[in-house]
Amino acid sequence: MSVRVRFAPSPTGPLHIGGVRTALYNYLFARKMGGKMLLRIEDTDQTRFVEGAEKYIQEALEWIGIKIDEGVTEGGPHAPYKQSQRKDIYKQYAQQLLDEGKAYYAFDTAEELDAMRKSLEEAKVDNLSYNAVTRMQMKNSITLSKDEVAERIGSGEPYVIRLKVPLKEEIRFKDIIREWVVVHSSTIDDKVLMKSDGMPTYHLANIVDDHLMGITHVIRGEEWLPSAPLHILLYRAFGWEAPQFAHLPLLLKPEGNGKLSKRDGLLGDFPVFPLEWKDPQSGETSRGFREDGYLPEALLNFLAFLGWNPGTDQEFFGLDEMVEAFSLEKIHKAGARFDVNKAKWFNQHYLRQMSDEELAEQVSMKLENKALAPKLVKLMKDRVTFTKEIITEVPYLFNPPMEYDQEVAQKKWDDLAKKAIPVIADILGNIPDADFEAQKIHDTLFEKLEAEGIKPGKVMQAFRLAVTGEGKGPDLMLILEILGKQTVLERIAKALATL
């Protein structure tokens, strides 16, 4: 059997990070099994369609490194891969179920459906759904004569097509992650398959497409588990073999209970979308992992470990290594807590794996003086989590300090510092401009301070304060080299006057 999986998002807004993980697991499984991965756009609910969402989905997958074999852009033998372009196909299969007595027309209005639920509530009935029992009191092609049904349809009266769910049937299937799932058909309502606007519901379109596109494994989020028994019933109704199911664990809030939401990202100051998203209607912008500075390799590793454990001590995986190690059987049932600090840890690792030249090229794009980039990388590479911090964490390299750390000043700007700082200024002033580089500054400064009877270690923090306004930070000698002799001397003079 040739493995075929699909990622089938709806273009209703930005792709949630949980959706990216679902796409990743589908991709890893397909590649591990030598199979194909499809991207299908499920846009049957036109009322929720959002302009730009489909392009966003494709860009997000491309950025993280997930290559699609068949889809809207790639094409393939089962095109079109957008459900709104497959309406005639769904009508054909809905008609098949009608002809075989496995589905029926329902003409009930919204008011009549509300009245039905209200009467069930008053009777204290547990199941308030449109099902094998309640359908017999409603207006549908089961309770109405053939002539009346034909007349209603002919006159243009709105209707939906519902699945005729059997009253007493056990639905049993084995989920790869959750083992056996058993549900009784009496708990399932007669779901709408075709809406009154002629568009299929998710349930019909999903099953028809998965069958026609040869999908062998449906790997999707746990939130779809309650729909799985209904989908099994639909496969039975058509006489098709159902694919194997694997329902992935939820992504949980960093703290407390419940599913990760956009609000959790706002409260925890982290993104929940792969890329930045600007809502075309409200204009509201949501943060993205890419724009926040995460590397795709870091996000891949972070997401892979949210629910999957390779069973080894290996902590970092390239995409090919991930494919080799992956299996659905190693995915946990329990929800995975979304700890963004772990994502930062991965990012720090992969940033440090980059060559200095590659990193300097990225940093230079944000600098007026491009030549500074290699020195900044040397100074900050091992101290930051994100590339942008190579610049943002050292503001004193671009502007003189406007204030000084008062706690450090009180402790370190003592009589020894007041005596030593002018000496340091004289020593630095006598170093030729051509020799004003980190190692030579260090050697000269330490040698001459010792000759003056001043222990360098006793005054370096005060010296750093004078130059940067801070009491700690990266290599001070390299900072002096980057600033240049004249700027350093000006800052020392200002500190002496201010402190």
Residue numbers annotated as active site: 262
Tokens of 356: 């200095």
Q: Which residues contact 20 (CB under 8 A, 6 or more apart)?
A: 60, 61, 64, 274, 299, 303
Positive or negative: CA dihedral 425, 426, 427, 428: positive
DSSP-derived 3-state class of residue 244: strand
Where are the alpha helices (H) located in 259-295, listed in sequence order?
A: 262-268
Q: Which residues contact 59 (CB under 8 A, 6 or more apart)?
A: 275
CA–CA separation, 24 vs 41, rounded Å?
17
* DSSP label at residue 311: S
Positive or negative: CA dihedral 222, 202, 299, 262: negative
Tokens of 251: 């992504």
Where are the alpha helices (H) located in 141-191, listed in sequence order?
A: 146-154
CA–CA separation, 304 vs 281, rounded Å?
33
- Of 102, 90, 91, give the one whose Cα is nearest residue 205: 90
Task: Name the one residue in this structure whose structure tokens are 């792709």.
Answer: 15
CA–CA separation, 289 vs 276, rounded Å?
7
CA–CA separation, 304 vs 65, rounded Å?
13
- Of 108, 107, 82, 104, give the one whose Cα is nearest residue 95: 104
Where are the alpha helices (H) located in 157-222, listed in sequence order?
A: 202-212
78 in Cβ contact with 70 (< 8 Å): yes
CA–CA separation, 381 vs 208, rounded Å?
52
Q: Rounded to the nearest 5°, which phi and psi values hold at 44?
A: -70, -25
- Of 181, 302, 206, give the one whose Cα is nearest residue 7: 206
CA–CA separation, 170 vs 392, rounded Å?
61
Positive or negative: CA dihedral 480, 483, 486, 492: negative
